[in-house]
């Protein structure tokens, strides 16, 4: 381990180029843009070799020099493992993609990749002396932040749509969060959080309204590139709501490239959305610099029901920089994708992950994906968190057929 636990240097605004001291509490820049953590990469490169890093335990905190928590004792952890990157040969044959794989985030605490952002975001909040946070959520992020806040002995206010998955409500309740339900979408939940924050009752931990959730999501990219031998796949297909993971993967690539650790071409990034809520796809197709709010947003992939992402400008910029694209798939295709990977590969993924399978199928059919390209799907969580999505496919049995009777005792 190097003498410094973190090489965090300052915060920077990608829109107006303003810089901010990292030791103060920050939400958005004065210009309204999310802030990005910047590191002393020259100092880090001189202090740590790539080979030294790979000898560490396989968990999220192995990358601590590239994370914003300065003191090891400030870390709030629930045991975040390095998640598997698994080849999908049978599904690949079906789709005509010989080098298809999935990065499966289901093993993380609370069952989704939201644990990455919560682990780092709560740890940094604790280090900065924050004792109460508030955030809107579609469900999984709120469950993760509530769990880590409980671990940190930190107050937590979670606001989610009333039709969010029931299990997410249960997770918030069991970990002691103050849970509020709203008859609306995540934007309506955000308005309630904004009032709570304005009253001085909590620090705003909304997506990209604090700089450090993104740093946790960045570890998704750090793991991918390390697992592939410090190279990138040709294409990464990412289910996009708020898009923090997509931005984090791209930030990881940029930092590793500057360190000289990542070699070869960068990946083409694909943002997948549901046709019932596709503001990024519409903006990308129209050549717009930012998205417009999506009216009457609705999809079975609840985690990507984000009518207007605060980081939409940055997401669209990454798609164009990477020579990627944005694609929308309908709910039927999402469910077929979820079923296909389950039946071909034995993996029960979340609906958002099913959207990446549907997108890969569509992009291969159109010729945008070539059969020999290395394509990586991002499955953001366990299908066990969405039992209702497959309820319609369960076999209907008569009562007498549903019971296996034990043999009579002699």
Query: Over the stretch 244-275, which tens digit does the pLDDT of each residue have?
Result: 999 999 999 999 999 999 999 999 999 999 99
- Retrieve residue 266's tokens: 């960068």
Q: What is the structure's pLDDT at 404?
A: 55
Block residue for tokens 């959520």 = 137
Q: What is the structure's pLDDT at 1?
A: 39
Least confident window among 2-11, 84-93, 207-216, 344-353: 2-11
Task: Look at residue 110 and tell me whether its pLDDT is greater than 60.
Answer: yes
Q: What is the domain partition of the chain in residue ranges?
A: 81-410
Block residue for tokens 């046709």 = 275
- Retrieve residue 260's tokens: 């000289």
Task: Look at residue 409 and tell me whether its pLDDT is greater than 70.
Answer: no
Cα distance between residue 164 and residue 229, in whole Å: 38
Buried-state track 11-50, b at ≥16 Cβ within 10 A, e below 16? bbbeeeeeebebeeebebbeeebbbbbbbbbeebbeebee
Q: What is the structure's pLDDT at 43?
A: 97
Cα distance between residue 184 and residue 162, in whole Å: 7
Task: Look at residue 150 and tell me whether its pLDDT is greater than 90.
Answer: yes
Closest CA to 105 of 353, 294, 278, 360: 353
Average pLDDT estimate for 292-320: 96
Q: What is the structure's pLDDT at 390?
A: 74
- Structural element, H or E, at residue 121: helix 114-127
Task: Look at residue 354 and tell me whether its pLDDT is greater than 70.
Answer: yes
- Structural element, H or E, at residue 85: strand 85-87
Triad 23, 25, 31: Cα angle to 5° = 110
Please give the CATH architecture assigned to the domain spanning 81-410. 3-Layer(aba) Sandwich (3.40)
Task: Look at residue 155 and tell me whether its pLDDT is greater than 50.
Answer: yes
- Retrieve residue 403's tokens: 């019971």
- Backbone angles phi and psi of 150, in degrees to 5: -60, -40
Cα distance between residue 16 and residue 317, in whole Å: 15
Q: Please write the tens of the pLDDT for every residue from 158-178.
A: 999 999 999 999 999 999 999
Q: What is the structure's pLDDT at 2?
A: 43
The pTM of the whole model exceeds 0.75: yes
Cα distance between residue 317 and residue 315, in whole Å: 5
Q: Classify 194 as helix, strand or coil.
A: helix
Q: What is the structure's pLDDT at 80?
A: 98
Average pLDDT estimate for 22-46: 96
Cα distance between residue 405 and residue 383, in whole Å: 30
Q: Please write the tens of the pLDDT for every residue from 222-243.
A: 999 999 999 999 999 999 999 9
Taken as a whole, the chain contains a residue count of 410
């Amino acid at each position: 381990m190097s003498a410094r636990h973190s090489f965090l240097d300052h915060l920077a605004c990608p829109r107006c180029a303003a810089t901010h001291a990292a030791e103060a509490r920050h939400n958005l820049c004065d210009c309204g843009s999310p802030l990005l953590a910047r590191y002393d990469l020259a100092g880090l490169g001189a202090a740590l070799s790539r080979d030294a890093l790979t000898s560490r335990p396989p968990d999220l905190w192995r990358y601590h020099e590239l994370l914003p928590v300065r003191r090891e004792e400030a870390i709030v952890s629930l045991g975040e493992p390095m998640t598997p990157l698994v080849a999908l040969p049978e599904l690949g044959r079906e789709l005509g993609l010989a080098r298809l794989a999935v990065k499966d985030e289901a093993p993380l605490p609370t069952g989704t990749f939201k644990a990455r952002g919560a682990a780092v975001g709560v740890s940094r909040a604790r280090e900065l002396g924050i004792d109460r946070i508030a955030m809107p959520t579609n469900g999984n992020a709120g469950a993760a932040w509530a769990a880590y806040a409980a671990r940190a002995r930190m107050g937590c206010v979670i606001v989610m749509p009333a039709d969010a998955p029931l299990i997410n409500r249960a997770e918030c309740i069991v970990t002691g969060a103050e849970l509020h339900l709203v008859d609306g979408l995540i934007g309506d939940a955000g308005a309630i959080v904004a009032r709570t924050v304005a009253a001085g009752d909590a620090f705003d931990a909304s997506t990209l309204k604090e700089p450090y959730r993104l740093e946790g999501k960045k570890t998704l990219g750090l793991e991918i590139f390390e697992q592939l031998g410090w190279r990138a796949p040709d294409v990464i297909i990412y289910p996009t709501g708020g898009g923090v993971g997509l931005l984090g993967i791209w930030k990881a690539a940029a930092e590793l490239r500057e360190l000289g650790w990542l070699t070869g071409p960068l990946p083409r990034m694909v943002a997948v959305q549901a046709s019932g809520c596709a503001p990024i796809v519409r903006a990308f197709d129209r050549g717009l610099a930012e998205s417009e709010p999506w009216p009457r947003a609705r999809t079975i992939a609840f985690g990507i029901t984000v009518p207007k992402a605060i980081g939409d400008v940055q997401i669209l910029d990454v798609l164009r920089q990477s020579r990627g694209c944005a694609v929308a798939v309908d709910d039927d295709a999402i469910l077929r994708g979820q079923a296909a990977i389950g039946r071909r590969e034995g993996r029960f993924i979340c609906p958002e992950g099913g959207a990446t399978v549907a997108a890969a199928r569509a992009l291969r059919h159109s010729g945008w994906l070539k059969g020999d390209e290395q394509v990586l799907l991002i499955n953001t969580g366990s299908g066990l968190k969405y039992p209702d999505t497959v309820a319609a496919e369960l076999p209907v049995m008569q009562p007498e057929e549903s019971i296996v009777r034990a043999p009579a005792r002699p």
